Amino acid sequence: MAKANDRLRDALLRNGLNLEHVSNAIGVDPKTVERWITTGRTPYPRHRHTIASMVRETENYLWPDAVAPERKSEIAESEVVRVYPHRNSVPAELWDRLLSDASEHIDILVLAGLFLVERPTFAKEITRKANDGAKIRFLFGDPAAREVAKRSEEEQLGKGTVAARIRNALAFVRPLSAVADVQIRFHKTTLYNSVFRFDDEMVVNTHVYGFPGAHAPALHLRRLSSGDLFETYAESFETVWAAGKPAPSEEPSCRASTTTTTRTLPRPTASASP
């Protein structure tokens, strides 16, 4: 039995497109477009490219089996813009440009990401992007999670160092939670890669046992329609996001400090003296 292409159907609906829109754009009968959806038939490469552009998805997402494995490997090489030996080798100008150019999606998956969020204009720029319609999502490690404590040990840092960095980073971004289209969540994953997505570009900071993130390699990726590499990290972000929990609006210790503790005084003992 033929399997419907639900990804294509959903992408068209999400972008307000119907069969006629697609058929007019690529010059085929609407019934042909309908068969691509209902029977899962795969269009010719030139049609796949046009449709993917219309719905702002990759060909690989819409038709996962359409591109041969060897071709995917070739495309993956083209998706890599540059490899940096260490994350702290990524030029500040690149971070500035990625943030400045992003207009639709900014997704950040980190443990702390303090190096980025503490930049003087970061919060102001995020607020401006959100007010202009960009969807912005932050995923930070839960400071209380055992995975965070373990990372401090694995990176040969002092006990509680990573948790402290996360709390410092949250101090910079928590005010952003009041901005529409900015969401902040905690995750408890064993983080293998930090992901910084800005529309169709991404920096992936791999993590190496025994080294802090700043000293581990980083990949600058650019999304290609038929590519698989960018999409792999994007799907990983979505998986972590789905399992994440909203970050509290303030530190638990801050909430606790507002309560008053009442202590019971000991009863005075009887004295023999008058």
Distance CA 216, CA 223 (A): 22
Q: Buried (b) or exposed (e) across 254-269, using 16+ Cβ within 10 A?
A: eeeeeeeeeeeeeeee
Tokens of 17: 């497109």
Q: pLDDT tens across 129-167, in order?
A: 999 999 999 999 999 999 998 988 888 777 889 999 999
Residue with the two structure tokens 């410092």: 168
Distance CA 209, CA 203 (A): 19
For the cut 70, the answer to whether the pLDDT of residue 262 exceeds it is no
pLDDT of residue 52: 87
What is the set of domains in the chain, with CATH numbers?
6-66 (1.10.260.40), 75-255 (3.30.870.10)
Contact between 104 and 135 under an 8 Å Cβ cutoff? The reply is yes
pLDDT of residue 273: 35
- Helices and strands in the chain, H and E counts: 13, 8
Q: pLDDT tens across 8-30, in order?
A: 999 899 899 999 999 999 998 98
Distance CA 14, CA 2 (A): 23
Residue with the two structure tokens 């041969």: 68
Is the pLDDT higher at 239 or at 77? Answer: 239
pLDDT of residue 74: 67
Strand partners, 195: 109, 204
What does the pLDDT average to over 178-203? 94
pLDDT of residue 241: 96
pLDDT of residue 154: 84
Q: Which of 70-74, 75-79, 158-162 has the highest average model confidence (pLDDT)?
A: 158-162
Residue with the two structure tokens 């839960």: 142
Distance CA 168, CA 173 (A): 9
- Which one, of 240, 244, 256, 255, lies nearest residue 194 by Cα? 240
- Which one, of 112, 131, 129, lies nearest residue 121 by Cα? 129
Q: Which contiguous run of DSSP H or E holds residue 219?
A: strand 218-222
For the cut 60, the answer to whether the pLDDT of residue 196 exceeds it is yes
pLDDT-wise least confident of 19-28, 176-185, 256-265 = 256-265
Q: pLDDT tens across 80-128, in order?
A: 999 999 999 999 999 999 999 999 999 999 999 999 999 999 999 999 9
Contact between 186 and 177 under an 8 Å Cβ cutoff? The reply is no
